[in-house]
Amino acid sequence: MTITAAQINSASQALRSVLRFDYPADSVLSRYFRDFRELGARDRAFVAEAVYGVLRRKRTLERLCGEDVSTRKLVLAWLARVEGVTLRQLGEGLHGRDTDFFTEVKGRELGKVGEDIGFAEATDLPEWLAERLLAFRSPEEVVALAQSLNRPAPLDLRVNPAKLDRDALVDKLRADGVACAPGRYSPLAVRLEGKPALQKHPLFLDGSFEVQDEGSQLLGFLVQPKRGEMVVDFCAGAGGKTLLLGALMRNSGRLYAFDVSDKRLSKLKPRMARSGLSNIHPVVIASENDPRVKRLAGKIDRVLVDAPCSGLGTLRRNPDLKWRQSPEALAELTAKQAAILASAARLVKVGGRLVYATCSLLPEENEAIVAAFLAANPAFEPLNAEDVLAKQGIVVACGEQLRLTPAAHDTDGFFAAVLERKS
């Protein structure tokens, strides 16, 4: 494959906007592609890969570029050192100084960790995040975790059991030339090889599958909703987990999808229509203390709190979060997480289940929130997450609380605690 000067120009231009970190990288790229509609599918794919590739390895690439860093040099360094592109693969039209830099950066030494380069820089993490991870993991574990987070995520699908079973979905996709295999953990997961465009595939359009990380799917099985129950997805967002809960309920009972964002919830409605589910009731709330929440106090069988969090477990998909998050933002998030969990807990009836989850890797957003909640709410007791999954035929060696990482499980990083109201 030949990489053209125009592609490098476009990637450099898009990266310049993303590195301002004013908005999430995916929204900046979407705006860029709207502004430059003349870019073909292959060009857009290259730009997106280059931007995300630089974000993942930003500190290493900046070190390779030296003092005179530019977005163009960062893209060239990514091609040379991360992607292993050769000079022959660079198309005509590149400036002589580009080829000179490309050749030079190919052979440039990075230096030794601990002598010439610090631990955080070597792992492409911000200093504060490296320190937080080292506080509860060994250096070797943090290196392995960072390396896994710096690789692109695979593409997972979740079959809609109301429309199709997993084996049938695998067979149909393979018949259409889509290489895939059953997931490792979730009984509804299918993992694809590569990232084929499936938005117009008939099985997507008829609701037979949704795109959902396999780790995210396990949260629904921890909630384990039953037919006819009253269930709440407390922070539903665009509804990926809501749809899973509705399917596990076999389209019976009543499932409330709460969120403070009308914009996010509006994305659920077309997905509901595709899925064929009619037991979902989207509700926009003003806050966790909305009167519509209070009216359901003590009436709900199962509540999922997929809390707003730092998102640091999703760095494979959202590498800009490494550079956009901060300790100050984290402190605000933990206060919000505690308030949301306390409010959601009021909904749970005696004998009901509460699942608290995040896509964070940090104890202050996970174990610390749950420990503080349990200390203040003796009516709730923890259930063993490993046992809850094992009873559904899902084997994950996790113990009392679910902790998934891309290094150990090849999923996004997730935490979940399962709590039961005893009185």
Q: Which residues are catalytic?
A: 359
Whole-number Å distance between alpha carbons of 39 and 402: 43
Helical spans, DSSP H, in 206-326? 214-223, 240-248, 262-266, 268-275, 291-294, 321-324
Q: Containing H/E element for 231?
A: strand 230-233
d(CA 217, CA 220): 6
What DSSP element (H or E) covers 145?
helix 139-149
Closest by CA position to 362, among listed 318, 395, 322, 398: 322
Phi–psi pair at 152, nearest 5 degrees: -60, 145
The CA–CA distances, whole Å, from 39 to 85, 91, 175, 199 equal 22, 17, 31, 19
Q: Closest by alpha carbon to 326, among 120, 136, 126, 79?
A: 126
Q: Are strands 348-358 and 300-306 parallel, antiparallel or unpaired?
A: parallel
Q: Which residue has the tokens 């030949």?
A: 2
Cα 283 to Cα 290: distance, rounded to the nearest angstrom: 11
Distance CA 153, CA 205 (A): 23
Pairing between strand 155-159 and 209-211? Answer: antiparallel
DSSP β-bridge partners for residue 180: 192
Q: Both tokens of residue 77?
A: 């360094």
Identify whether the C-beta of residue 348 lies closer than 8 Å to the C-beta of residue 300.
yes
Please name which of 115, 152, 117, 122 lies closest in space to residue 139, comparing C-alpha atoms: 122
Helices 41-56 and 58-65: crossing angle, nearest 10°? 90
* Cα gap 406→394, rounded to integer Å: 18
> Which of 354, 345, 324 lies closest to 419 in space, CA to CA?
354
